[in-house]
Structure 1
Amino acid sequence: MLEVQHISHQINRKVLLDDVSLAVWPGELVAVVGANGAGKSTLLKTFSRELSPTQGQVLLDKKPIGQFSALELARRRAVLAQQNPLAFEFSVYELVMMGRYPHFEGQPRPEDLAIVDYALERTGISQLAGRAVPTLSGGEQQRVHLAKILAQLMSSEDINRPDVPIRQSRYLLLDEPTTGLDFYYQHSLLEVASELTRRGYGVVAILHDLNLVMQYAHKVLLLKEGKALAFGKPAAILTTESIRQAFNLSVQIIHQPELDCPLIVHTRQAISVPLTT
């Protein structure tokens, strides 16, 4: 289990997180939602050890995350950040291979090559392997970085025995992973994440599309101004009232028998505008 316990994070007088707790179990996809500035990215960076909380602690399998070496942590959790700047024009294949660096010294082994090939194929970018990453579109680059973190966490057993649960828990931390992706690849990425949870991975994803949260997340944490507003199953948490509180937005929740989950629709309200003569 990956968890944060009563964490707060403050910069000068600005409180970014205020007494937030969250536990992510193997096999769960937990979405984190909230308005801009609610503390979502700060929470994810705290989970990944990029930031240290002002108060509280982060635990991986009941052990403080600070007690793991960088190598141990790289083999247990991978992060897809919002921004992924590159200092050099690496090819797609080279960048995805970097995900395997925590697993070998010197030259990659046959299993490393197989895992990279699988990650390229699973994210639909095998045909781009020889391209320089900066020459790709934003959506293509996002898929490349997803392939990199898949390569970082996956093992040969994941490929050869996909129906067997993983032995040791591993976690993907996804910060707005659908940014720049078209409709097809938004769902494709979340299908990959869901497939991994069925194998025993844990996934934390910051998402803005509440309908994607309804469709894919097992649980959702709703943040407002650095505080946890609600946590639980999406259909129970994402109500018209909670969405109004978190986003200052009026919505309708539509339930249709043919849908597996409720549909959230923005309610457009007429605004009275004074006329000038």
Structure 2
Amino acid sequence: MLEAQHITYHINRKILLDDVSLAVRPGELVAVVGANGAGKSTLLKTFSRELTPTQGLVLLDKKPIRGFSALELARRRAVLAQQNPLAFEFSVYELVMMGRYPHFEGHPRPEDQAIVAYALERTGIARLSGRAVPTLSGGEQQRVHLAKILAQLMDADELNQSGAPIRQPKYLLLDEPTTGLDFYYQHSLLEVASELTRRGYGVIAILHDLNLVMQYADKVLLLKEGKALAFGKPASVLTADSIFKAFHLSVQIIHQPELDGPLIVHTRQTSPVPFPSPI
């Protein structure tokens, strides 16, 4: 289990997170939602060890995450960040192969090459493997980085035993992973994430589309101004009342038998809603 316990984080006197707790277990996809400035990315950065909480602990298998070496952590969790700047014009294949660096020294082995080939195919970018990453569209680049983190966490057993549960839990941290993706690839990416949870991965994903949360998340944390407003199953957390509190937006929750979950629809208002104040 990957767990944040009573996390507080502040810069000078500005509190970005205030006593927030969250846990993701193997086999779960947990979404984190909230308005801009609610603290979503800050929380994810404490999980990834990019930021050290002012107070509180982040634990991996009940051990403080600070106690893991960089190599150990790279083999257990991978991060898809909002922005992934590149210093050089790597090809798609070269960048995805970088995900395998925690697993070999010197030269990639045949199993590393096989895992990279699988990651390229699974994310739909095998045809782009020879292209320079900066020449791709934003959505294509997002899929390249997804392939890279898949390659980072996978091992040969997962290729040889397709669909079998993994032996040791691993975790994906996805910061707005559907940014820049069209409708098809938004769902494709979240289908990949869901498939991984069925094999024993845990996934934390920051998402803005609440209907995607309803469809794919097992649990959801709703943040407002750095505090946890609600946590639980999406249908119980994302109510019209809680959405108004978090986003200052009126919605209707529509229940239709043919849908897997409720549908959230914005209600047009007669007067404009002011932007929420920044933290």
TM-score band, normalised by shorter chain: over 0.9
Mapped pair 1:48 → 2:48: yes
Per the TM alignment, residue 269 of structure 1 is displaced from its structure 2 partner at its CA by 1.6
What does 1:153-192 correspond to in 2, within 5 Å?
153-192=153-192
The amino acid that maps onto 1:224 is K
Say if 1:162 and 1:199, in contact at 8 Å, map to a contact too.
Answer: no
In the alignment, structure 2 segments of 5+ residues that lack a partner are 273-279
Mapping of residues 22-171 of structure 1, within 5 Å: 22-171=22-171
Tell me by how many angstroms 1:271 deviates. 2.9
Distance 1:74 1:95 in 2: 16
- CA distance in 1 between partners of 2:158 and 2:185 (Å): 22
In the alignment, the residues of structure 2 paired with residue 271 and residue 64 of structure 1 have an alpha-carbon distance, to the nearest angstrom, of 49
2-structure distance, mates of 1:103, 1:147: 16
In structure 1, what is the Cα distance between the partners aligned to 2:20 and 2:171? Answer: 19
Question: Where does 1:258-273 land on structure 2 (aligned, <5 Å)?
Answer: 258-271=258-271
1:230 is paired with a residue whose SS is strand
2:13 aligned with 1:13, yes or no?
yes
Does 1:253 find its partner at 2:256?
no
Counterpart for residue 212 of structure 1: 212
> What is the CA-CA distance between 1:216 and the residue it aligns to?
0.1
Name the stretch that deviates more: 99-108 or 156-165: 156-165
In the TM superposition, what is the alpha-carbon distance from 1:58 to its structure 2 partner?
0.4
SS at match of 1:243: helix
Secondary structure at the aligned position of 1:113 is classed as: helix
Deviation of 1:162 after TM superposition, in Å, equals 1.9
CA distance in 1, matches of 2:62, 2:162: 27
Task: Please tell me the root mean square deviation across aligned C-alpha atoms, in Å.
Answer: 0.7
Provide the TM-score with structure 2 as the length reference.
0.97
For residues 77-131 of structure 1, the C-alpha deviation after alignment (integer angstroms, 9 at most, x for no partner) is: 0000000000000000000000000000011011000000000000000000000
Structure 1 length as normaliser, TM-score?
0.97
> 1:172-204: per-residue Cα shift (whole Å, max 9, x none)?
000000000000000000000000000000000
Helix, strand or coil: the match of 1:5?
strand
Count matched residues. 272
> d(CA) in 2 for partners of 1:76 and 1:250?
40
Moved beyond 4 Å, runs of 4+: none
1:163 Cα shift? 2.4
What is the rounded CA distance, in whole Å, between the counterparts of 1:200 and 1:177 in structure 2? 20
How far off its partner does 1:4 sit?
Answer: 0.3
* 3-state SS, counterpart of residue 36 of structure 1: coil
**SS at structure 1 position matched to 2:192:** helix
In structure 1, C-alpha distance between the alignment counterparts of 2:226 and 2:270, rounded to whole Å:
31
Q: Distance in 1 between matches of 2:19 and 2:162?
A: 38
Distance 1:151 1:78 in 2: 10
